[in-house]
Structure 1
């Protein structure tokens, strides 16, 4: 199973490096240039994974009702997804890329990303393996979590909610609402004549979505069941044996934990194998294409910004229960409302941070944080234009 995870991620890492599939880049293109092609590629990856999950569940090959993390759980921690997503979105912008892009850049020779991986892994470890989360986050997360079972709703996915409202079976509701959601996405994505010509973006979206789907299949099908049954009889039960797909922030924390006890091979998880596969696939492509380049920080300020961003990524990624891939594609493919909240919050956090950075650059002498923030919110149409404090040239 670890080899399967590595191979799936290896292919994805090579293709993502070649096609420059980048979720933060998608937000940047949209916010700064009005170019939505990479955003549509991301949405296409979501659509491919979503349609695949609908088919696999309808045919009984897998079920994503019980997964790692629990995307469809009855405990709807809505504020956790919003706050975690915002923190992660800010962090990935400061760190020049999400978890997946960090791994891709490491494979391409970017030494800055090794620092980002280390810091993000350390904070993900603190969030998942120590009392850091319990002290700072757990009390308010618990206080704001809605128990959907009290409303006779079996899970936080759209299908379960529609089922509770209409009285129809959950499976029927999931297929119905999932098909509508997928059709809307396809319409939005391919409405653009320009995107229909972007074969590389279409290909990269298809591969990323297929990689997420493949991981769902192998961990959730009969192959995955055998893996889980075998693990129950092992002397050292491996961590993270469950139906799951690609996500990268928590595995960074697992990697940090493993490095402290490298002799304990039971700590090597599916996510860690996928993480290694992304880096290796990217590295192989970089070597074959002769695009491998060493890169380091340009200044102390540059290094500090990346360190802060990495810390926020590790913290926000675990709090939101996923990253731009883990929640933005894997989670959304389950129709989870929590995943959709996290995705929207990540995009907003990243877009707002980019706008603030823009104003701080072009108005270097007068751009206080408040002025940059107000002007950024005006640009994002969240404040009236009369509150603009800086000009957008």
Structure 2
């Protein structure tokens, strides 16, 4: 009855993908920055384990899909020419600092807002404004002498941004996962990481296979990321004449929708954090959002954009970016914790059986 153009089908599938992502992330409170905070405050490794599991599944599933459907993941933005590793590291440091100040990365802020934390809307708006300013606005000229610095680009060229060896990467991640879970049976509780890892790989299938057939619009090969798409979503909301609904924007809308739906089922997290009474949340949300918007563009992605989507392509630049983000996040968390400004709203602990096998 209803015949959809291919780009409309892609947008619809992106909406479903984002909705599923939002529902799973809300149910389990999947979060990169939260994994740092959990370990810092309670030594819990549950959410960190889910993050690592998502990385593993995303890499395996994306490699299978790209091989089976002959998708060249090196055509993505993570392998762009004239890579500047110094800017990627700098952007990662900015983003990692920002996500801890704002108590959540770009994706996490969408989740928190849709489940009832109105403070996160401030962060989302500042992410969007500063991401757009860094891409096309005032901040583009400010950072241009660094991003387009021939010396830095030349120095970066000594290390080619090639696809890393999948066996080496998986070996490192599996070792990290075993260190984090401590007990073998805990691995079966990391279903959220498995689902999110699969969703990351399905994005390549949608844009790289279905989207390739589009004659009405050019659909680039792209995955799930949140910083610049948040900026484009705000642009679509304000100036719909100069923008159009796309795969990344549909993902953002889907995450908000999925989280909102799940918040009625899983009501435990459906309100703002009340554990930060001694923190000027508005100030921290504004500064954190600004740093994430700028840093996310400079590092070519956020925690999900580089840590999952980029890493699923095995790009060396993506590994460098997520290491910079997490390293900066850890240092910032340590500083905030010393000042008693690292809020803990919920405890995420393992639910163990007494007879679980110890590694």
User: In 1, distance between residues paired with 2:263 and 2:183?
Assistant: 26
Kindly report structure 1 stretches of 4+ aligned residues shifted beyond 4 Å. Answer: 296-300
Which structure's relative contact order is higher, taking Cα pairs within 8 Å and 6+ residues apart? 2
- 1:98 corresponds to which residue? 105
Q: For 1:79, what is the secondary structure of its paired residue?
A: helix
How far off is 1:30 after superposition? 2.9
**TM (normalized to structure 1)?**
0.77
How far off is 1:157 after superposition? 2.4
Count of paired positions? 328
- 2:4 corresponds to which residue? none
The yes-or-no answer on 1:157 pairing with 2:162 is yes
Aligned-residue CA RMSD in angstroms? 2.3
Q: For 2:148, what is the secondary structure of its paired residue?
A: helix
User: In 1, distance between residues paired with 2:34 and 2:67?
Assistant: 34
- 2:229 corresponds to which residue? 251
The yes-or-no answer on 1:285 pairing with 2:262 is yes
Q: Deviations over 1:164-193 (max 9, x none)?
A: xxxxxxxxxxxxx21332233224313555
User: In 2, distance between residues paired with 1:324 and 1:44?
Assistant: 14
8 Å contact 1:49–1:329 — kept in the other structure? yes
8 Å contact 1:38–1:201 — kept in the other structure? no
Q: 1:145 aligns with which of 142, 150, 153?
A: 153
Which stretch shifts more, 319-328 or 24-33? 24-33
Q: 2:306 aligns with which of 318, 327, 330?
A: 327
Change (3 A) 1:244 1:193: closer
Structure 2: which 5+ residue stretches go unaligned? 1-9, 342-359
User: In 2, distance between residues paired with 1:191 and 1:292?
Assistant: 28
- 1:355 corresponds to which residue? 334
Change (3 A) 1:303 1:46: same
User: In 2, distance between residues paired with 1:195 and 1:323?
Assistant: 30
Q: For 1:137, what is the secondary structure of its paired residue?
A: helix
Structure 1: which 5+ residue stretches go unaligned? 160-176, 233-240, 363-393
How far off is 1:127 after superposition? 1.2
- 2:190 corresponds to which residue? 202
- 1:42 corresponds to which residue? 51
